[in-house]
């Protein structure tokens, strides 16, 4: 199994019912999409991420006893489970919460990648998704009545019509298309300047992953694929995706970028690659693995 940022860490056991004992706990407290952390001074090193201009030299979660030790009234709290024996909680601070205590700040997850402890970083990705889901399902989507948290599983249930709402995960496939020693990379209009990546798209109702891959690649670049091979998957909390990555072989067609979706797409030789996504994403792990594979088989 390939380890990937945001996937559940080892020694974590998810839970819904909070333990009785009130000792130290890890608190993942979000205001909007930013996490509360204790922060060191800015690091002089480049971030390796075109979306992140600078990173702190270190960051860590505040260790708190319980929500009485918060300096604001949380909009919601959710028990997450236990990491290596330590209970973990998520909380949401209201938008008008007063500034955090000295030495603490709200920081975005991309900025905290490789700075925060890896296991804490992964659980922050879980926490932000659950907080967002909990906030978005306060009312029943069918009848509009206020929902209630279920005690025995991660769900909100409507007391009026019994509709249950579970945390939402949107599956998306990613395809890195190979043609001998070259790989097909494209760029979407919202990418940072110069950056290219593997192709990706959301799975539609009624589609298998293989069908989605073939459709997405055909739609985005007009190319037909074969020999699809599973690579790995990654939980992706921006905002609630499951990325499922594959390597495929080109079988036919010339590149025709889809207007509005793909600004540019090209075949790249592995020794002449453009700017790539950061190692936070499965896209980069997928590209690196295939580039290594091509180099090791001496196709280049």
- State the residues that interact with Zn ion by CB under 5 A: 140, 142-143, 145, 158, 160-161, 163
Q: Cα(177)–Cα(186) distance, rounded to whole angstroms?
A: 11
Long-range (24+ apart) CB contacts under 8 A made by 141-149 are 141/165
Least distance CB 235 / Zn ion (angstroms): 29
In the bound state with Zn ion, the residue whose beta carbon lies nearer, of 114 and 147, is 147
The answer to whether 212 and 225 have CB atoms below 8 angstroms apart is: no
In the bound state with Zn ion, the residue whose beta carbon lies nearer, of 138 and 295, is 138
In the bound state with Zn ion, the residue whose beta carbon lies nearer, of 57 and 164, is 164
Least distance CB 156 / Zn ion (angstroms): 10
Least distance CB 239 / Zn ion (angstroms): 24
Least distance CB 129 / Zn ion (angstroms): 23
Question: Minimal CA–CA distance to 161: which of 148, 146, 143?
Answer: 143
Question: Minimal CA–CA distance to 50: which of 233, 187, 236?
Answer: 187
Least distance CB 137 / Zn ion (angstroms): 11
In the bound state with Zn ion, the residue whose beta carbon lies nearer, of 63 and 143, is 143
Q: Cα(269)–Cα(246) distance, rounded to whole angstroms?
A: 19
Least distance CB 130 / Zn ion (angstroms): 21
In the bound state with Zn ion, the residue whose beta carbon lies nearer, of 26 and 157, is 157
CB atoms within 10 A of CB 196: 23
Scored b (16 or more CB within 10 A) or e, 235-255 reads bbbeebbebbbbbbebeeeeb
Least distance CB 138 / Zn ion (angstroms): 12
Burial of 281 (0-12, 13-18, 19+ CB in 10 A): buried
Q: Scan for tokens 């997405």, then name that residue.
A: 216
In the bound state with Zn ion, the residue whose beta carbon lies nearer, of 164 and 227, is 164
Q: SS in 3 state form for 240-290?
A: CEEEEEEEEEEEECCCCCCCCCCCEEEEEECCCCCECCCCCCHHHHHHHHH
The answer to whether 106 and 94 have CB atoms below 8 angstroms apart is: no
Q: Cα(202)–Cα(216) distance, rounded to whole angstroms?
A: 8
Least distance CB 139 / Zn ion (angstroms): 8
In the bound state with Zn ion, the residue whose beta carbon lies nearer, of 115 and 158, is 158
């Amino acid at each position: 199994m390939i380890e990937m940022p945001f996937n559940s860490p080892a020694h974590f056991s998810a839970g819904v019912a909070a333990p009785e004992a009130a000792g130290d706990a890890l608190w993942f407290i979000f205001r909007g999409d930013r996490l509360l952390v204790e922060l060191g001074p800015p690091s002089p090193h480049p971030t390796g991420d075109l979306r992140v201009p600078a990173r702190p030299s270190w960051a860590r979660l505040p260790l708190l006893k319980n929500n009485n030790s918060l300096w604001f009234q949380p909009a919601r709290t959710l028990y997450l489970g236990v990491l290596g024996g330590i209970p973990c909680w998520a909380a949401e601070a209201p938008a008008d919460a007063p500034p955090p205590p000295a030495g603490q700040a709200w920081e975005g997850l991309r900025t905290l990648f490789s700075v925060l402890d890896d296991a804490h970083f992964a659980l922050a990705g879980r926490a932000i998704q659950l907080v967002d889901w909990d906030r978005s399902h306060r009312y029943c989507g069918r009848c509009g009545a206020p929902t209630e948290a279920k005690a025995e599983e991660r769900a909100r249930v409507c007391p009026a019509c019994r509709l249950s709402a579970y945390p939402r995960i949107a599956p998306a496939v990613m395809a890195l298309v190979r043609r001998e020693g070259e790989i097909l990379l494209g760029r979407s209009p919202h990418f940072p300047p110069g950056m290219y990546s593997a192709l990706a798209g959301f799975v539609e109702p009624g589609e298998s992953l293989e069908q989605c891959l073939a459709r997405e690649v055909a739609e985005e670049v007009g190319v037909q694929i074969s020999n699809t091979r599973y690579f790995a998957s990654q939980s992706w909390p921006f905002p609630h995706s499951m990325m499922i990555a594959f390597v495929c072989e080109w079988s036919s067609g010339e590149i025709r970028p889809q207007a509005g979706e793909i600004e540019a797409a090209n075949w790249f030789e592995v020794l002449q690659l453009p700017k790539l996504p950061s190692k936070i994403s499965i896209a980069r792990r997928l590209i690196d693995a295939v580039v290594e594979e091509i180099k090791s088989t001496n196709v280049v």
